[in-house]
Chain A
């Protein structure tokens, strides 16, 4: 049901409109409210502190949840229901390397801005779901790591961080994930947002560790359409955003081969992630980022089954 709703919503959540929204918070609210409009309220109810409703005792209900005070007053057995308290920790790691600071000739927003909107939406979504969340940027390691919590102040703090520029010269996933492994809680969800232009082998040991910790990784790969299609016509002089190296080439002559390489890289990443019990989501900056929320929700659902 999530996927179907997600598809319907995606049609209404226009990436162009998203790029024109003034702040990340508004963008996040736009995405999340749009997403939630299509969903039912969470069916999971637990024993958290937030009271939800009373109902008559039914045989089979735990004796622990009977409200004895109400019984004393009314001589009837009622059970007290509370809003779900999941105790779920979500870690969002956002690639802040310069390679994210790219927008193709026809793109409305850079990969970085797209990733930030997406992250903001995720944070808001997590906050509303009462999940504990943490967000860190990745450059030569983790930046400003804060333990996950579900607090509005924390959400605001992370939101401010998202206004930073993607100007790091590198994205050292190895170091970042090493650092994370020291602090991560078991059974957490780890969301990695990046273009993943790196050696995939470095993820292998970290994914093993995450699996060991019963954590579920969600790799959200953000790409510009140009990176996928490589639809340049004339010979171009390209400069690497991180290393500054230059390369002259004729797109006509290498397009197919490049696309083959890129496809293989994406497939390799998908395989790697899925082999380790995670999910991989490829998002093009010309599509709605709403899918990310759907993917997160899917993972979260699996947790409670």
Chain B
């Protein structure tokens, strides 16, 4: 059945009244006009009068039809079976958190979801979303139940945690954009409280939208024990190193639970241990593991809690891993002038190769140093640049393109300014005469965050003299400010690497910072922060079997279960993942979110129906939604407006011919 998208335009068809009125007015003139040559008119008209009358009627008909067709074309007719207003549009939100995999509820809710989706049709279109921290949508509203069911089967499982807050808003927004007699959000979830915790009941849904929650029948409290953490306490540097593993277990039950603790490390089973977990508490256990002999390589393992009475077993396995820290390579520009002391080098130089101390390798960066030599460096420390030419800037560029890290320490020289200018950093003022102190530090930044553990020195007592004022690009992160908001330490992304700028010369004339306890930890953390560059990447793109980091590190192969080619992998599937790059391998451990193990059920008095609005839907909104919906349907629907316009043009041309005129 043909339907009109913009039926309002049909009022335009009323314009046919114009030719009709004109026709009626001209049909029979009242006032006779004298005329002498009527004898000729009789001869002319007599034969044609009846024909002319018919012709006039045809012209009138044509004019009316032209108006009608134009109005109809603007009203945009299209096939109604595509765009017929649905009886009920539903958005189904499937709680995709791993707690849904608890066996007792899984089958029940799965069947409910399949049955609900089975009712999808053009009259009852549905959209399906699987909810974790975010929502994954099946697409637009569809009446194809088979397609929806298949999509559900492919996407129902996840190992994340869920929250309905955003999901409900998104579902509401989706329903706003469709015209339907009834609109419903159907939430399919276990009775876990967690996803509802963030839902704001005071913020109702759009008027007219109903809410239905499908939950398993009220049941007894589920029993659950979980491994919530397994992490090495120490950093891994050398072979046969003793590594302390800290494990947290949580008993969510109101009674104590006994379980066997089994640890696998580097593909070897470590002797099991029987533990008893006190009710509703977190239990911590430590174990000392020994790294294998030989060159340090990434190591991984699992902690398994084999509890007897546990309904949710996914969180009973915890993956852990440790990657050796390579000896960092630092290239420094030597300070020219015998009396100058390179405080940074002094601070970072290893006193003894012992424990967690930085065991860095220092090399001089001079104009003749070839790019190949420093391309793998963890950090380039640039201070005195007087002897460096333009070629050097090109080398630095290349190094940054490979994901390197560069620290530029301010020197009042043309070469430093030139280099800064290259990174779009401008010198506003060469010197701010007088004493400056740190005014503000970004303690949330990884460099300072880790430093805080050290608790060394008072930052705000450090003195700086005659510091410059530099202007940085907008994307720059300011890690520290001097007084009057003058940037002191900054971090800026450039190509694939990072450029750090310290806006003060680090010699006796310009600062007393090296005498403070914060100096050494700052540079050490900066070095470690730079060394972590590969670990900052969280996802991989699998492209035809060849795995490429989203960053700059090329990966030759990846050892991951269930990873399909050309898929985008979020590391949210529990497991240990080995990523082999050209230069080294790294293991990543992914575990189920800790909070999802919570077994607290939704209280029976929790009234989620408060989300349903009491307000009536405004007619304006209904019309608006209908129009929006029609527009959307029309993109796919067969419409005929252009045929109508074509006819209108043809008829108007015919009218011109018949009416014996050259223009309308």
Contact = CB atoms under 8 A, between A and B. Distances in A.
Contacts of A111: 36
Interface string B44-88: 110011001001100000000000000000000000000000000
Contacts of A197: 36-37, 39-40
B663 interface: no
B42 A237 contact: no
A238 B52 contact: no
Contact of A261 (B31, B44, B659, B660): B44
A284 B48 CA distance: 28
B52 A254 contact: yes
- Ordered nearest first, which 10 A-B pairs have the shortest CB separation? A99-B36, A238-B35, A240-B38, A239-B32, A237-B29, A102-B36, A235-B26, A237-B32, A258-B44, A253-B52
B38 A245 contact: yes
A61 interface: no
Contacts of B36: 98-100, 102, 111, 195, 197, 224, 227, 240-242
B30 interface: yes
B32 A249 contact: no
A30 B643 CA distance: 68
A179 interface: no
Contacts of A247: 38, 41-42, 45
A249 B41 contact: yes
Nearest to A261: B40
Contacts of B39: 197, 240
Nearest to B46: A247
A102 B660 CA distance: 28
Nearest to B52: A253
Nearest to A253: B52
Contacts of B42: 247
Interface string B5-26: 0000000000000000000001
10 contacts: A197-B36, A234-B26, A235-B28, A237-B29, A239-B38, A240-B35, A241-B35, A247-B42, A252-B660, A252-B661
A267 B361 CA distance: 121
Interface residues of B, number: 28
A261 B35 contact: no
Interface in A190-248: 195, 197, 224, 227, 234-243, 245-248
Nearest to A240: B38
A201 to B, nearest CB: 14
Contacts of A238: 32-35, 38, 41
Nearest to A265: B40
A257 B44 contact: yes
B43 interface: yes
A141 B42 CA distance: 26
Contacts of B43: 261
B34 A254 contact: no
A59 B630 CA distance: 114
B49 A249 contact: yes
Interface string A57-78: 0000000000000000000000
B27 interface: yes
Interface string B122-161: 0000000000000000000000000000000000000000
Given A242-B36, A247-B38, A255-B660, 11 more contacts: A102-B35, A197-B40, A234-B26, A235-B29, A237-B30, A238-B32, A239-B34, A247-B41, A252-B659, A254-B48, A262-B40
A257 B33 CA distance: 20
B48 A257 contact: yes
A246 B45 CA distance: 12
Contact of B31 (A100, A237, A254): A237
Contacts of A256: 660
A250 interface: yes
A239 B33 contact: yes
Given A247-B45, A254-B44, A257-B48, A102 B38 contact: no
B655 to A, nearest CB: 12
Contacts of A234: 26, 29
A265 B37 CA distance: 11
A242 B42 CA distance: 14
Contact of B35 (A235, A239, A252, A253): A239
A264 to B, nearest CB: 9
Given A102-B36, A253-B52, A261-B44, A237 B659 contact: no
Interface string A66-110: 000000000000000000000000000000001110100000000
Contacts of B31: 237
Interface string A261-286: 11001000000000000000000000
Contacts of A246: 32
Nearest to B37: A227
A265 B29 CA distance: 29
Contacts of A261: 40, 43-44
B300 to A, nearest CB: 96
A248 B34 CA distance: 12
A249 B40 contact: no
A292 B605 CA distance: 116
Contacts of A239: 32-35, 38
Interface string A29-43: 000000000000000
Contacts of B33: 236-239
Contact of B29 (A236, A241, A242, A255): A236
Interface string A4-34: 0000000000000000000000000000000
A193 to B, nearest CB: 15
Contacts of A235: 26-29
Contacts of A249: 41, 45, 49, 52
A51 B116 CA distance: 132
Contacts of A241: 34-36
Contacts of B40: 197, 258, 261-262, 265
Contacts of A98: 36
A238 B37 CA distance: 10
Contacts of A224: 36
Nearest to A255: B660
B47 to A, nearest CB: 9
B656 to A, nearest CB: 12
Nearest to A226: B35
A227 B39 CA distance: 12
Nearest to A238: B35
Contacts of A195: 36-37
A237 to B, nearest CB: 4
A111 B659 CA distance: 32
Contact of B55 (A102, A253, A265): A253
